[in-house]
C-alpha cells in the first residue's frame, strides 16, 4: 500500500520487544544485587526499539496524509495511529523517567492503560 523502508521487519521487532519485556519481568522479580543496572540496560534497549517503532509509525502516518488515501483501511489506520502514537510516547517517557532517571512519577502523569486512558489507580487500604 505504502512504499516505506523496513515494512517487512514487523515480526522481528515484535519478537525482540516481547523477548525484552520477558527479560525485564524476570529480572524485576529477582533479588540480585545488580538488578537495577541490568534493568536499566534492558530498558534502554526496549525504549530504543520503541523509538524506532514510533518513528516508523510517524512515517506511515505522514505517508497516509501525504498520499491523501481515502480508502476505509487507510482512514482506520490513520485514526489508530493518531490515537495510539501519543499514548505510546507518554508510556515511553514515563518509563524513561521512572527507570533510567530514577525519578518519582506522580500517578496523575502515568498512563495505566494504553487502550483505556481513563483508567485510574485505586489504592486499597492495606
pLDDT digits (tens, 9 = 90+) for 14-61: 999 999 999 999 999 999 999 999 999 999 999 999 999 999 999 988
Angle between helices 35-67 and 10-29 (to 10 degrees): 150
pLDDT at 21: 95
Overall residue count recorded for the chain in this entry = 126
The number of beta carbons lying within 10 Å of the beta carbon of residue 46 is 20
Provide CB contacts within 8 A for 2, sequence distance 6+: 60, 63, 64, 67
Percent with pLDDT over 90 in the chain: 59
Amino acid at each position: 500500500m505504502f512504499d516505506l523502508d523496513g515494512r517487512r521487519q514487523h515480526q522481528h521487532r515484535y519478537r525482540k520487544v516481547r523477548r525484552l519485556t520477558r527479560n525485564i519481568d524476570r529480572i524485576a522479580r529477582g533479588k540480585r544485587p545488580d538488578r537495577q543496572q541490568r534493568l536499566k540496560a534492558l530498558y534502554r534497549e526496549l525504549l530504543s526499539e520503541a523509538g524506532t517503532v514510533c518513528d516508523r509509525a510517524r512515517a506511515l502516518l505522514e505517508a497516509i496524509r501525504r498520499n491523501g488515501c481515502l480508502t476505509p483501511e487507510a482512514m482506520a489506520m490513520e485514526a489508530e495511529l493518531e490515537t495510539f502514537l501519543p499514548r505510546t510516547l507518554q508510556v515511553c517517557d514515563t518509563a524513561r523517567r521512572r527507570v533510567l532517571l530514577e525519578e518519582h512519577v506522580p500517578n496523575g502523569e502515568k498512563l495505566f492503560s494504553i487502550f483505556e486512558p481513563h483508567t485510574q489507580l485505586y489504592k486499597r487500604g492495606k
